[in-house]
C-alpha cells in the first residue's frame, strides 16, 4: 500500500493568515488601524505549525533546545511568482519529507538555517518509520548567487528542483503582486496605474533600475531572465542532480509532476491531496493587454532561446 500524504492543512494555514494580514494592510491608510486590526491575526500567527515567511522570535528560541539540527537535502527554487509556494506545499505532504518551520527563510546563511530544520533525532524517527527522510529548502531565490554558492559548500550532494514559469505570465503576476503589496493608498506613481505603463517604463529603462516599487530588489524584467542563473545551478550541482520543472506542466497535472519529483528525490511516489492555489493575489485586475504581452514576448525571446540551448530543451514559451 502506498504511503498516505500528510495533512495538507498543516502547510496551508500560514498563507491564509498572511493573506488576511496583507488585505488588512492594503485597505487601511492608517498604520495604527492596521496594527489594531492585526492583533487577532498576530495571536493566530504565534501558534502556526508552518510559516510562510518570518517566524515569531519566541518560536525560534524554543527550538534552540531541540538538539542538533540538519540542513536541507534538496532545494525547490524558482523566481518570485513562479508557483514555488504551491509546489512546496505539495512536496511537504510526503510522509518522508520533513518541512522546515517556514517556507521562506529569506537569506543565504546556511548555518543560520538550522534553527528552522528538523533535528537529527526527528529525521531518524521518520527514517525508521517510512524508510526515508529528507528536508527541503523552498525560497524563490533562483538568482541569489550567495545562496547557490553557500548551499553548494554546505551540501554539494543536494538535489535541486528548478521551477521555471513563462516569463511573460510571470511578469504580469509580478505587476499584480507589486500593486497588492503597495497597498490601496501606497502608490500614486503614474507608472503603476496600468500594466501597460508598468511594462513601458521597464522596457524603456532596462537594464537601469526603475522607480521604487514594493519589490525594489526584484526587478520585473530581469527576474524573468533565467538563463544565467539556471546555468550556474547546473554547473554547481551537476546536471544529473538538477530537475527543471516547467510551471505550466505542474499546474496542468499537479499529481504527475509531484510524483515525478518524488522519484527524482529518491522517495516512493505519493499522490498529493489537492488544495486551492496558495499565495494567490486576492485582488481583481484587468487582464494583461495584448500589446504589452507582445512586447514582452519579443523582449524575452532571445533570452529564452539561450535558456533552451543551455537546457537542451525547448520550453515553448515563444509560441
- Give residue-wise pLDDT tens across range 69-79: 999 999 999 99
CA dist., res. 263 & res. 255, Å (int): 12
CA dist., res. 10 & res. 17, Å (int): 13
What are the b/e assignments for 181-217, b being 16+ CB within 10 Å? bbbeebbeeebbebbeebbebbeeeeeeebeebebee
CA dist., res. 139 & res. 2, Å (int): 29
| pLDDT tens-digit readout, 208-240 | 877 667 776 788 899 999 999 999 999 999 999
| pLDDT tens-digit readout, 74-107 | 999 999 999 998 999 999 999 999 999 998 998 9
Q: For residue 32, what pLDDT is reported?
A: 47
| Main-chain dihedrals φ then ψ at residue 47, nearest 5 degrees | -115, 10
Neighbours of 6 (CB within 10 A): 19
Q: For residue 138, what pLDDT is reported?
A: 94
Reply yes or no on whether the pLDDT at 244 is more than 70. yes
CA dist., res. 228 & res. 303, Å (int): 9
266 or 29: which leads in pLDDT: 266
- C-beta separation of 115 from 72 below 8 A: no
Mean pLDDT of 163-187: 85
Q: For residue 34, what pLDDT is reported?
A: 47
Reply yes or no on whether the pLDDT at 38 is more than 90. no
Cell of 269: 511516489
Query: Which of 12-26, 206-220, 287-301 has the lowest average pLDDT?
Result: 12-26
pTM for this one?
A: 0.88
Q: Any idea how long the chain is?
A: 319
Q: Report the CATH fold assignment for 1-319.
A: Rossmann fold (3.40.50)
Confidence of residue 1 (pLDDT cuts 50, 70, 90): very low
Amino acid at each position: 500500500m502506498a504511503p498516505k500524504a500528510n495533512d495538507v492543512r498543516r502547510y496551508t494555514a500560514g498563507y491564509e493568515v498572511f493573506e488576511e494580514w496583507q488585505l488588512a494592510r492594503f485597505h487601511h491608510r492608517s498604520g495604527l488601524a492596521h496594527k489594531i486590526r492585526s492583533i487577532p491575526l498576530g495571536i493566530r500567527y504565534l501558534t502556526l505549525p508552518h510559516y510562510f515567511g518570518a517566524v515569531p522570535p519566541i518560536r525560534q528560541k524554543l527550538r534552540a533546545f531541540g538538539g542538533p539540527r540538519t540542513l536541507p537535502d534538496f532545494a525547490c527554487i524558482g523566481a518570485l511568482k513562479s508557483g514555488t509556494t504551491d509546489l512546496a506545499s505539495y512536496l511537504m505532504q510526503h510522509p518522508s519529507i520533513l518541512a522546515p518551520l517556514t517556507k521562506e527563510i529569506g537569506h543565504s546563511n546556511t548555518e543560520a538555517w538550522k534553527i528552522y530544520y528538523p533535528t537529527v533525532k526527528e529525521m531518524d524517527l521518520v527514517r525508521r518509520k517510512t524508510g526515508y527522510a529528507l528536508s527541503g529548502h523552498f525560497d524563490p531565490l533562483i538568482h541569489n548567487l550567495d545562496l547557490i554558492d553557500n548551499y553548494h559548500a554546505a551540501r554539494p550532494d543536494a538535489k535541486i528542483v528548478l521551477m521555471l514559469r513563462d516569463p511573460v505570465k510571470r511578469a504580469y503576476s509580478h505587476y499584480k503582486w507589486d500593486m497588492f503589496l503597495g497597498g490601496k493608498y501606497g502608490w500614486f506613481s503614474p507608472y503603476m496605474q496600468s500594466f501597460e505603463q508598468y511594462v513601458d517604463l521597464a522596457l524603456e529603462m532596462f537594464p537601469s533600475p526603475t522607480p521604487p516599487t514594493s519589490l525594489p530588489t526584484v526587478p520585473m524584467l530581469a527576474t524573468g531572465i533565467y538563463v544565467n542563473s539556471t546555468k550556474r545551478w547546473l554547473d554547481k550541482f551537476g546536471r544529473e542532480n538538477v530537475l527543471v520543472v516547467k510551471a505550466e506542466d505542474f499546474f496542468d497535472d499537479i499529481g504527475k509532476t509531484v510524483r515525478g519529483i518524488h522519484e527524482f528525490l529518491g522517495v516512493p511516489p505519493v499522490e498529493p491531496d489537492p488544495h486551492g492555489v496558495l499565495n494567490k493575489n486576492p485582488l481583481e485586475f484587468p487582464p494583461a493587454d495584448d500589446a504589452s504581452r507582445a512586447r514582452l514576448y519579443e523582449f524575452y525571446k532571445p533570452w529564452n532561446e539561450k535558456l533552451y540551448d543551455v537546457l537542451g530543451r525547448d520550453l515553448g514559451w515563444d509560441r
